[in-house]
Amino acid sequence: MTDINGLPIGTVVVANKTFDKLASADSPRPFRVRQPVADIIFRAVARSAGGITVGIMLAVGLFLSINGSQAISTAGFNFLTEQAWQPQAHKFGIAAILAGTVTIAVIALCVSFPLAFGTALLISEVLPAKLKAILIPLVDLMAAVPSVIFGLWGVFFLQANVIPVSQFLSTYFGWIPFLAVTDPQGHHLTEPSAFTSSAFIAGIVVGLMVVPTQTSVMREAFSQAPVGEREGALALGSTRWGMIRAVVLPFGRGGIIGGTMLGLGRALGETIAVYMIISPIFSINWQILQSGTNSVSSLIALRYGESTPFGLSALMAAGLVLFLITMVINFTASSIVARSRSGADS
Amino acid sequence: MTTALETRTFLPNREVLAPEGEKRKLHGVRAEELFSVIGAAVASLATTMLIFGWFTPLTGGVGFVVVAYFLFLIFYVMLTSFNGQREEIKDRIVTVLLYSAGFILVSSLLFVVVFTLIRGQDAFPHLNFFTQTMELAGPLDGLDVGGIIHAIVGTLFQIGIALLITIPLGITTAVFLNEIGGNFARFVRTISDAMTALPSIVAGLFIFSALIRTGILQKSGLAAALAISVMMLPIIIRASDVVLRLVPGNLREASYALGSTRWRTVWSVVLPTSRSGLVTAVILGTARGIGETSPVLLTSGITSVMNTDPTKDPMISLPLQVFTFIKSPEPNFIARGFGTAAVLLLVVLLLFALARLIGGKGPGQLSDRQRARVLHQSRLDEYRIGVRAAKRASDNDPLTAANPNEAK
């Protein structure tokens, strides 16, 4: 922020004593610029606060990269393809845990997207103002519920109630490869213990956790659709759904994509609820209904205590990969939201 | 003359031309819509019962609900297609689907909360739950022994230290981003946006390997507070940044035009204007920080005794205590876990309610009492200026009267 002379606002400009003589000669006014002491201190303090913030965050990033790259360089290309996790034997890789993380996040999105999309449209387009005023803070509140509480609910309530559904799905839709539940010999399993602690259950819980974030981003985008265009569509005789399809959805596309991706970022990084529900295994399990899966963050929670220094840097490498993925997703999401017509600032 | 008469403005007699018809209802629900919903619901319920009880060996609550819902949709389409057009049918179905999504979402989220609170009731009637630690409680002891006061104290210490770090640092950084700007500020904003993506467990892993494994700190409350700070800092910066951006530019410009310095403008105009928003940002950050389990799991250590020294020895917090209780197979421990979770949930709900109460107003909106105070202050200023002007006039000194700046 500068004023018309290109000087920072707030700078005290003291006219030189020779001002009168020079002004008549029609030459540039000489300025003697003096910043007030308070401003000099203020700038220094504010700038150093910014510096400290960046310092902390770069420290985290650099520490992770340096330690992690040590492990990655030892493991080499195997780091991406190896499924086991035995750092002592220098035999470790993120193939299985990353596959598990992505599986859980994708299931979470399948649960959360329809709910978030529907609720966001319901709140912004259908409900009367009174109900709206109740629902908006309610959904925002749910974003603040700690993940350990969702984990509790998942373990003590959802698990028992989802198992029959899983059994049904695997019995009647087992011909779809990822819905089958088989033992290594290929026999179909039906006993309930084969269905506990699965990626499916963890995915549902994580999905419910990310719904509030997605809903509020989408609702924000929908509610900014211009009134003139809405009224135009309605005046041309369209129904409410016709108006939504023609005006609101094209307008809020950035919000839909951005909100979904923000939710995906949170789903990938979720730790404690996943850790409480899944039973960790170190091989890729494509059968989402079957017991046993893994995720990067629950691996860290599981293994940090028993780690040697090298084991720690292996964990950090896994954490670094997760961080990079969520960072790319978040940046893409926020740039999509910002570039769309609806999201000038969010 | 005659042409002028013919083209004269003609006022139509409205009562004759357009007899006022029956007034149309634009809002509300028509009886036909209501009855088709009720009819479809009853029909689907009856058919589902018939299917489950008579025709097929289907059982199970979930299946019943799913089948009933799909039948409801089919019946509803049939009923509306009797006297609706294609577009109208589509509109009705979408409306039903939207309501279902909202209902499922809200009811399941509320259910998560209510489930925790109800299961927490077992531990709540025992007063010792809030006044004792778990030091003397063995694995088989009943709920009338032991409590979670040490976890409550631990949470207070950890979140307190985290707030001591993040409030000054976060808000000053946000002020820097908004009021000073420049290339470095853009860099800071990018970095702090990137850090919102940091998974919480990785923040814990960083503190664990950089400070605890290297021997700089023990597993302690301070280490946990640092891990929570790393998580909360970007949240608070981002939220305060948004709030500060909402301060109207003309307020700042008015302050600068009066000749105030940049520091004065920030201190007396920008920060007071956005006070409620900043408080909300901090409270929401606190609510997030208080519920963080995974960074604390790696850094604070687990204990069952009271510890009021954050610099050494393990110090447990509420979410970690929940996690620890739940891992035990003993029913009493699980009951305590739910009790602790309910306490944690109530704290978060309270913080959130507080944030809504304070942050419901936009920047610059004042309560009645604040408005009265501002009014009083401006009256005092007006009086002061009047007195000074009168004094200046009576001084009758042309030099000082012409140049008020030197009159100071």
CB A323 within 8 A of CB B202: yes
Q: How many domains does chain B have?
A: 2
Mark whether B71 and B170 lie in a shared domain.
no
Residues B199-205 have a mean pLDDT of 89
Residue B144: inside a domain, yes or no?
no
Hey, is B297 helix, strand or coil? helix
CB A214 within 8 A of CB A116: yes
Specify the pLDDT at position B227. Answer: 93
Specify the pLDDT at position B17. Answer: 62
Specify the pLDDT at position A190. Answer: 76
pLDDT at B407 over 60: no
Compute the Cα dihedral for A55, A60, A62, A67 and give only its sign: positive
Nearest CB to B345; choose among A149, A208, A315: A149
Q: pTM for this structure?
A: 0.81
Residues B215-230 have a mean pLDDT of 89
Q: Assign B105 a pLDDT band (cuts: 50, 70, 90).
A: very high
Residue B277: inside a domain, yes or no?
yes
Interface of B with A in 349-388 (CB under 8 A): 349, 351-352, 356
| Better pLDDT: B222 or A291 | B222
Residues B212-240 have a mean pLDDT of 89
Q: Assign B1 a pLDDT band (cuts: 50, 70, 90).
A: very low
CB contact under 8 A, A9 and B176: no
Nearest CB to A53; choose among B90, B95, B237: B237
Q: Which residues of chain A have pLDDT under 50?
A: 1-3, 15-19, 22-23, 343-346
Mark whether B288 and B353 lie in a shared domain.
yes
Mark whether B298 and B355 lie in a shared domain.
yes
Q: Name which of A167-171, B66-70, B375-379 the model is least confident about.
A: A167-171
The distance of A97 to chain B (nearest Cα, Å) reads 15
Specify the pLDDT at position A9. Answer: 55
pLDDT over 90 for what percent of chain B? 26
Q: Assign B19 a pLDDT band (cuts: 50, 70, 90).
A: low
Interatomic CA distance for residues A322 and A268, integer angstroms: 8
Residue spans of alpha helices (H) in B177-330: 183-195, 200-207, 221-245, 249-257, 262-265, 271-273, 275-290, 294-299, 318-327
For chain B, say whether A244 makes contact (Cβ under 8 Å).
Answer: yes
Specify the pLDDT at position B192. Answer: 86
Residues B158-171 have a mean pLDDT of 93
For chain B, say whether A281 makes contact (Cβ under 8 Å).
Answer: no
On chain B, the residues whose CB falls within 8 A of the CB of A274 are none
Mark whether B178 and B91 lie in a shared domain.
no
On chain A, the residues whose CB falls within 8 A of the CB of B335 are none
Interatomic CA distance for residues B349 and B346, integer angstroms: 5
CB contact under 8 A, A304 and B175: no
Specify the pLDDT at position B213. Answer: 83
Hey, is A282 helix, strand or coil? coil
Mark whether B109 and B175 lie in a shared domain.
no
Mark whether B299 and B355 lie in a shared domain.
yes
Cα distances (Å, whole numbers) of residue B342 to A334, B305, B338 = 34, 21, 6
Mark whether B185 and B111 lie in a shared domain.
no
Q: What is the domain range of residue B39? A: 31-120
The distance of B203 to chain A (nearest Cα, Å) reads 8
Mark whether B263 and B182 lie in a shared domain.
yes
Specify the pLDDT at position B8. Answer: 77
Topology of domain A80-339, CATH: MetI-like fold (1.10.3720)
Residue B401: inside a domain, yes or no?
no
Specify the pLDDT at position B406. Answer: 46
Q: Is B123 left (phi over 0), alpha (psi -120 to 50) or beta?
A: alpha
Residues B162-175 have a mean pLDDT of 93
pLDDT mean across residues, chain B: 84
pLDDT at B18 over 70: no
CB contact under 8 A, B201 and A300: yes
Domain spans in chain A, listed from the N-terminal domain onward: 1-35, 80-339
The CATH number assigned to the domain holding B197 equals 1.10.3720.10
Mark whether B66 and B172 lie in a shared domain.
no
Mark whether B181 and B289 lie in a shared domain.
yes
Residue B189: inside a domain, yes or no?
yes
Phi and psi at residue A31, to the nearest 5°: -115, 140
Phi and psi at residue B96, to the nearest 5°: -60, -45
The alpha carbon of A327 is separated from its chain's Cα centroid by a whole number of angstroms, namely 8
| Better pLDDT: A16 or B54 | B54
Nearest CB to A327; choose among B98, B194, B326: B194
CB B192 within 8 A of CB A55: no
